[in-house]
Amino acid sequence: MARKGPTEGATKTRSWERAEALIPELEDFVVPPAEGRLSLGTLIKPWGVRGEQTLRLHNPASDLLEQVDAVFVEGDGFPARPVGLRQARWVGKRYVVHLEDIDDPADAEALRGLDVSVPVEWLPDLEEEGEYYVRDLLGLQVVDQHGAPLGELVDVFPTGSNDVYVVKGPQGEILIPAIQDIILDVDLEQRRMQVHHEEL
């Protein structure tokens, strides 16, 4: 993260020197572009003594990391690089991952703050009608049942019973429950969602 330095306009970016040594770039390896990767979470801090670390999942209900054996890590000033994934699991209320060649807490600490992603082509097909990946919903233009614009869908967060869509527009921030009676239509090709606003 950029911070103001002693001279106005100067910036300082975290040094990833140790992280770069632990996860070197692979020659002749083509990293998918940003739109071809799905961010799953952020590495937080070391856990235990074997190099494992906690991961803040964007979607705590996702088990995708338990089905893959490699991920990409990236951050500000650290371009996306592939790395093997030894294990991913819940330990109590913490989600813990163990990356290849990360063997002690100091190694894990060097990766703190990096984002973890996978290629979008690894995403499993959605089985139920009306299910969507969050990445596909963000940026949708939301309108009411009459076609009047409400704003842009900027975030999705889960609750105990259903997800909630966060829409920002002329009326400010609107919270829309993702339930069948409210969500009238989702058109990913047209980047548009229609909702029954009077019932909110």
28-78 pLDDT, tens digit per residue, is 888 999 889 989 999 999 999 999 999 999 888 788 999 999 999 999 999
Note the CATH architecture for domain 11-122. Answer: Beta Barrel (2.40)
Burial of 29 (0-12, 13-18, 19+ CB in 10 A): exposed
Task: List the chain domain ranges.
Answer: 11-122, 134-199
Note the CATH number of domain 134-199.
2.30.30.240
Query: How high is the pLDDT of residue 127?
Result: 62
**d(Cα 40, Cα 56) in Å, to the nearest integer?**
8
Cα separation, 99 vs 140, whole angstroms: 34
pLDDT in tens, 24-42: 988 888 899 988 998 999 9
pTM to 2 decimal places: 0.69
